[in-house]
Structure 1
Amino acid sequence: MPESAYFHIPFCVNICHYCDFNKVFLKGQPVNEYLDSMEKEMENTLELSPFSSMKTLFVGGGTPTALNAEQFERFLAMVNRHFSSPDRLEFTVESNPEQTDLRKLEIMRDAGVNRLSIGVQAFQEKLLKELGRTHNQQDVVRTVTDAKRLGLDNLSLDIMFSLPRQTVDMLKETLDIAFSLDVPHFSAYSLQLERKTVFYNRAVKGELLLPEQEEEARMYEVLMEEMDKHGYVQYEISNFAKPGYESMHNLQYWDNNEYYGIGAGAHSYVNGTRKANAGPLKKYMSLIEETGFPYIHEDVLSASEKMEEELFMGLRKMNGISDQRFIKRYGRSMFDVFGSQIDKLLERGLVKVSGDKLALTRNGTFLGNEVFQEFIGVV
């Protein structure tokens, strides 16, 4: 039974050059009608599959803070109306610095939001322009300062590396500025070229100058070293936190737990079934109107698929996977189910065994996708 829920706000004031998430330009969109559809999906979903406890909520996009103050307040009230729980631990909202003014921060605080994930990516104006971002360093500083002043001090900054024309020194500069803001959590991702993005199209034409593979690996190494030096524990391949400030919501995903997904393009995992919502707004809204649900794909997972997901999701965590927990869930040891794959990875030095836990080695963190691939389609 899910104890977490994700909500998708697909609207953006501008479209970043690397982003392949489900999103649309805000101007001229039927925002209020979309919120009506979201509320219907919330009601129908919970009528079909009610929860007994709701520990974490996460609002992503798109850009949730692209909503105007009235819409934003209405949306958060809807979430609280349907997904409130006395044992809620974490309520996260993603925000863009240039669209997160004091009023929206007050709305979040008053609605019980207690964690903010701020899209920063870099602090060099040239890099931000290259990425299609419209904020600057001052916007980030203001957002962090205002949030802390209102008591919203559980803050996470998103950082990107391996960007076009980015150097190791530029990444170090970004990290130095980020550390000076004294926030307890960072998510740091290397650029991935995704289809249907500006960057992908430029790369196909040979117009995108990206760091070499060795340079990207060096950036990741510098990232890990600097985070450690400043007291941030790497608890997942791309996430670093001061002790006690790990993202509880994202840990639900990496622990392969169930969750609700509400909104256009959202995904859910409920009662052993993964479902995908329609992405285009018109299709999402018309499906809600016609059937009450926006699903375009449903996949009932087999026991073998669940075990595979347990491995390739759980190995993202530096703490790894407990065999005791695996046995409790599936009635078999992961060392029996995936013995040959684990032996192969042990031989390559990409995973390690400590007690009943299987985890990535330091080398394994650089080759995570190769490790995860070993567990797909083998049972």
Structure 2
Amino acid sequence: MKSIYIHIPFCHHICHYCDFNKVFLKNQPVDQYVDALLREIEMVSPLLIEPVETIFIGGGTPTALSAKQLERLMLGIEKFIPISSDVEFTIEANPGDISADQLSVLRAGGVNRVSLGVQSFDTGLLEKIGRTHREKEVRETIDLLTNNGFTNISIDVMYGLPGQTMDQWKDTLKKAVQLELPHFSAYSLIVEPKTVFYNMHRKGRLSLPPQELEADMYREVMDVFSQHGLHQYEISNFAQKGFESKHNKVYWDNEEYIGLGAGAHGYELGKRLSNIGPVNQYIKAVENGNRPTNHTHEVTRVERMEEEMFLGLRKVEGVSAARFYEKFGVQLVDVFHSPIEEAIGEGLLQSDEVGVRLTDKGRFLGNQVFEKFIGVIE
């Protein structure tokens, strides 16, 4: 395994749309959690035969850890994980929620990429979605990052938010590109179960933009980022050449990776695994000397071929025919002839000797295309 995901579940506040495993930081056993995380890292170290090429620390809010706690985590990673000299080492952070002391620790620990959850530059929308930062904190945090030697910075922005207008979205995109960062992710809001927005939606209290407006917002983001020299390399991701997310590409290429921490997911030796979510139960499992896995699924050959398609088609380059044959010993156009032809006929997919990929129209209807590849292999 050449990639590792590490989950920090603590947050200073809970965003209304977030369905990741998270808890309020206050009164949590954070030091014990870091201890357990380091023990889990040690447990999986025998699997790390080759140097790790990507590490991603996500959450939650990883920078909810103090500088001292982050330093312990960095030292443990250095001790137990063989790291490639050109590793992409990412940490997530929130604007206004990271200090120079923390950045110093992270730089010393090898972190070289920061992903900021900005979501919007509109104060009213930020309040609606449960974010506590404002535009001022975004700019101050980016200045802090660059002054501390971080140049590989990505920000997330969101569209399709409750009550969001096209003018608000255009303003967010304008302010985003003015930052002249090398990477941006633009996600449409998905109302997930176990979120504040889900409960509001069930009660009829969530006013979302119509689908036509959301499609126009997606078209706008593609146009604006393209005009500013950022190429789209995945449905929701845009970058300057050379700044594409290597870690996320592991997911889209359907490659294996290790997931560590409470609620983390992994893909190891042909199995999809998920860890225990509740923090105290996670800690107890590790203290008892066990890997804290609560669910394991052995991925069948058919499932792997299906995943190769619906994950790989998220990439603008699409699914490689040669790579598919190398993995499975069969031609993808033979295995998935019917759904490919159907999607081509609908103008959603294009195919050649290199592979298959979404058309411009297909990017707007990605989920509709992905579903075509599930349950068709006999």
Query: Same-fold call, TM > 0.5?
Result: yes
TM alignment of 1:211-230, pairs within 5 A: 211-230=209-228
Partner of 2:192: 194
Aligned equivalent of 2:43: 44
Where do 1:130-169 residues align within 5 Å?
A: 130-169=128-167
Deviation at 1:89, TM superposition (A): 2.3
For the Cα contact (< 8 Å) 2:182–2:240, is it kept in 1?
yes
Cα deviations by residue, 1:267-312 (Å, 9 ceiling, x for unpaired): 1111111111011112211222235111111111111111111111
Letter of the 2:144 counterpart:
D
Q: Which residue of 2 aligns with 1:344?
A: 342
Q: Secondary structure at the match of 1:128?
A: helix
* Over 4 Å off, 4+ runs: none
Write the deviation string for residues 20-53 of structure 1: whole angstroms up to 9, x where unpaired: 1000000000001011111111111223x23312
For residues 158 and 210 of structure 1, what CA distance do their matches in structure 2 show? 19
Q: Is contact 2:348–2:361 with CA below 8 Å preserved after alignment?
A: yes
Which runs of structure 2 are paired with 1:273-284 in the superposition (5 Å)?
273-284=271-282
Task: Write out aligned runs for 1:243-254 (5 A).
Answer: 243-254=241-252
8 Å contact kept, 1:40–1:292: no
Residue deviations 1:111-146 (CA, integer Å, cap 9, x gap): 111100000000011111111111111111111111
Structure 1 length normalisation: TM-score?
0.97
Any idea what SS the aligned residue of 1:171 has?
A: helix
Taking the TM superposition and a 5 Å limit, the aligned residue runs for 1:9-28 are 9-28=8-27
Contact 1:5–1:58 (CA under 8 A) maintained in structure 2: yes
Q: What amino acid is the match of 2:264?
A: A
Deviations 1:327-358 (A, max 9, x none): 01110011011111111111111110133220
1:89-108 to 2 correspondence within 5 Å? 89-108=87-106
Q: How many equivalent pairs are there?
A: 377
**Contact 1:159–1:187 at 8 Å: present in 2 too?**
yes
Q: Unpaired segments of 5 or more residues in structure 1?
A: none
* Per-residue deviation, 1:104: 1.4
> What does residue range 76-115 of structure 1 map to in structure 2 within 5 Å?
76-115=74-113
- Which position in structure 1 is the counterpart of 2:174? 176
Displacement of 1:110 after TM fit? 1.4
Corresponding residue for residue 74 of structure 1: 72
- Cα distance in 2, alignment partners of residues 288 and 183 from structure 1: 39
Counterpart selection for 1:57 from 48, 55, 58:
55
RMSD: 1.1
Instruction: Give me the whole-angstrom Cα distance separating, in 1, the residues matched to 2:21 and 2:194.
Output: 11
What secondary structure does 1:123 align onto? coil
The separation in 2 between residues aligned to 1:313 and 1:173, in whole angstroms, is 31
1:86: how far off?
3.4
Corresponding residue for 1:3? 2
Aligned partners of 1:54 and 1:88 also within 8 Å: no
Question: Structure 1, residues 181-224: CA drift from partner, whole Å, max 9, x if none?
Answer: 11000011000001111111111111111101101011001111
Distance 2:84 2:242 in 1: 20
Query: Which residue identity lines up with residue 10 of structure 1 in the other structure?
Result: P
Q: Alignment identity in percent?
A: 48
Provide the C-alpha distance between the structure 1 equivalents of 2:84 and 2:14, rounded to a whole number of angstroms: 37
Task: State the alpha-carbon separation in 2 of the partners of residues 121 and 213 from structure 1.
Answer: 19
Report the counterpart of residue 375 of structure 2 in structure 1: 377
The residue identity in structure 1 corresponding to 2:101 is: R
Contact kept, 8 Å, 2:89 with 2:112, in 1: the verdict is: yes
SS at match of 2:243: coil
Matched AA of 2:34: L
Give the deviation of 1:88 after TM superposition.
Answer: 3.9
SS at match of 1:173: helix
Q: Give the TM-score, by structure 2 length.
A: 0.98
Structure 1 residues 201-350: aligned runs within 5 Å:
201-350=199-348
Letter in 1 for 2:62: P
- Map Cα deviations across residues 207-251 of structure 1 (whole Å, 9 max, x no partner): 111101101011001111111111110100000001110000000
CA contact (8 A) 1:350 1:363 kept: yes
Amino acid aligned to 1:179:
V
1:369 match: secondary structure: helix
SS at match of 2:57: strand
Secondary structure class of the residue paired with 1:89: strand
Paired letter, 1:293: R
SS of residue in 2 equivalent to 1:6: strand
Mapped partners of 1:89, 1:40: distance in 2 = 22
